[in-house]
Structure 1
């Protein structure tokens, strides 16, 4: 089953609308969602545990940040990303770095943290961790075999507990670290926004998936129409139903759900087939949203690169947000579906060729019209 050309044209125009979109690589954005449990492009307030790895482009604050606790049943795609990355300051009053189970297949690693700014407190609960801090470091407990480096000074206590500790490494160390983090955050942002924009305009010639309304809410009937994934397009108001159920026909497949609206509130209870087995397969794409509230448990990954996300219900999957106010736990597993983007979303070079082609066609039409006149 082929995608409609209109979808490809629309995606090309979206990507051409701004240089950031045009430079983005949707496939790289999807891979980041496989490797990271949380990606926050701006600031995050942490108040609960997070099973996987976390990337925060801005500042990390809050009262309780426990990262990398793991999950014996679902995990994330292994990578060289450390447990916690923060572009700015990490001022969580209770920050812990762990190395829990990665879906029953080894530990979440490499354990450690990379912080561009300063750290007010940190506890390494995993051995052989690597910690790099651009600014000052305070109130830190190390672990056996770990390495702790800081560009700034030490204050409060710094207990090595078998770790190698270096502080006051200076401007050169700090600048190199912050430059790397700035570049990485910028790439994540343009890639994830390109992914969200591209998914938002995909259509199918004959979409066999459908939604029926039960007594308490929607039932998603998931069918592969021949493209290798299932596709839904809904209004954000549907998320305020009482219950949500899924019927999946055939083998597990990526399920793309485009949610339209600038603001959304999730109040649905998961019932029946909408359960943890779907966590690695669903992407809820909020391409337009600037505010998103999760008030009940939500299965599947959330792609909301422009939104401030607040949760009082548990999230089970990857989360991408512009800012995140955490009020409940975030669990694994991250998206693990196959690479359906090869057919669905052209690569950046292809976008450029398509746009040039559209321009050439337009010029040819204009010349023919002029000649006819």
Structure 2
């Protein structure tokens, strides 16, 4: 995928709803997640993966911390294969593993015979033989500790030890500079879907086939929605873009995700939630979030047990606590692999 983007890339003030959304020039964004190399979760900085799973591959620009038990690439190892490798890279870490910060009983499993790439092996080592000296599936554990010690990364294939440490496979700072430009470009899209949140919090929206449908909301309005009903579902030629303005809370947003009716995981590739100005976001509770979470400036903490159905493009990510054993702990939900698959093009529109 190309990491380029066309169209005006200047940040503007967001306008809620349709009332103040004046007609603007056409904004051609294309596919906003282009450049992610097929990874379902992409962070510019650090990531903490608690005690659930990601169905697809994960790319972390910074350091990786993990909890008691987290599975990566449950359904697919993805499409990105590094030069000279025979298997796709299912887990790519630009920095290193934070063993001290991880659960001391933690096992992060990389499934579907996917490979692991670490930018730095600081504090760790690659093991391709078990404690009896027999050839075995590759483990990455702390330096000086045995094959089945914890915390460890556990593969389901025999990846050559020399191929695990590899830096420079993705230029995360450049990619996220592009993502922020695209987030700002989407912020220029004029609203063309009427979306006034009623007092009872039950919002219904109708999409117009054959165009990019744009819903503009403030963070306060979004969190006031208890049920969001689609009278007709998004599709490849009828994608929906939610542009959410969090300037009213200085870029900090706590989201209790609404119940989404009239859509399912099949529609996730055609739904995108753009938070262009958010710098801090907590998903606190609520129903499954369907669609791509696009917040390239935000440190995101997911504490809700409900799932995310779509790509996750964020500055940093904490997906649940390190331990699911604590009585007070609330695990984040699963991250399902539903890559965004629409081309966004916002046409001028006057209410």
Query: Shorter-chain TM-score category?
Result: 0.5 to 0.7
**Mapped partners of 1:245, 1:155: distance in 2:** 53
Instruction: Give the secondary structure class of the aligned counterpart of 2:217.
Output: strand
**2:24 equivalent in structure 1:** none
**1:85 equivalent in structure 2:** 92
Kept in 2: contact 1:33–1:334 (CA 8 A):
no
Change (3 A) 1:246 1:214: same
- Unpaired segments ≥5 residues, structure 2: 1-5, 13-27, 82-87, 149-154, 321-331
- Unpaired segments ≥5 residues, structure 1: 1-7, 16-24, 100-109, 121-135, 345-373
Deviations 1:274-304 (A, max 9, x none): 4433322111000000111112231111100
TM-score with structure 1 length normalisation? Answer: 0.64
**2:3 equivalent in structure 1:** none
**Mapped partners of 2:49, 2:245: distance in 1:** 28
**2:121 equivalent in structure 1:** 118
Kept in 2: contact 1:76–1:333 (CA 8 A):
no
Deviations 1:255-276 (A, max 9, x none): 1110001122211331422443
1:163 aligns with 2:146: no
Q: Greater CA radius of gyration, 1 or 2?
A: 1
Instruction: Give the secondary structure class of the aligned counterpart of 2:180.
Output: helix
Match of 1:318 among 292, 311, 323: 311
Instruction: Give the secondary structure class of the aligned counterpart of 2:117.
Output: strand
Match runs of 1:31-180 below 5 Å: 31-32=34-35, 35-48=38-51, 49-63=53-67, 64-70=69-75, 78-80=79-81, 82-90=89-97, 91=99, 92=102, 93-99=106-112, 111-118=114-121, 136-137=124-125, 155-158=144-147, 163=158, 165-166=160-161, 177-178=166-167, 180=168
RCO comparison, higher one (Cα < 8 Å, 6+)? 2
Match of 1:339 among 331, 336, 343: 343
**Mapped partners of 2:289, 2:281: distance in 1:** 12
Give the superposition deviation at 1:203. 2.2
**Mapped partners of 2:254, 2:142: distance in 1:** 44
**Mapped partners of 1:145, 1:319: distance in 2:** 33
**RMSD, matched Cα:** 3.8
Give the superposition deviation at 1:316. 1.5
Instruction: Give the secondary structure class of the aligned counterpart of 1:61.
Output: strand
Deviations 1:343-367 (A, max 9, x none): 77xxxxxxxxxxxxxxxxxxxxxxx
Match of 2:242 among 244, 250, 257: 257
1:217 aligns with 2:204: no
Kept in 1: contact 2:63–2:95 (CA 8 A):
yes
**Mapped partners of 1:116, 1:332: distance in 2:** 26
1:247 aligns with 2:230: yes
**Mapped partners of 2:156, 2:228: distance in 1:** 50
| More helix per residue | 1
The size of the alignment, in residue pairs, is 283
**2:173 equivalent in structure 1:** 186
Kept in 2: contact 1:239–1:264 (CA 8 A):
no
1:235 aligns with 2:212: no
**1:283 equivalent in structure 2:** 272
TM-score with structure 2 length normalisation? Answer: 0.68
Deviations 1:56-76 (A, max 9, x none): 000011313310112xxxx89
Kept in 2: contact 1:141–1:161 (CA 8 A):
no
What stretches of structure 1 move > 6 A for 4+ residues in a row? Answer: 139-148, 159-162
Change (3 A) 1:196 1:12: closer
1:301 aligns with 2:301: no
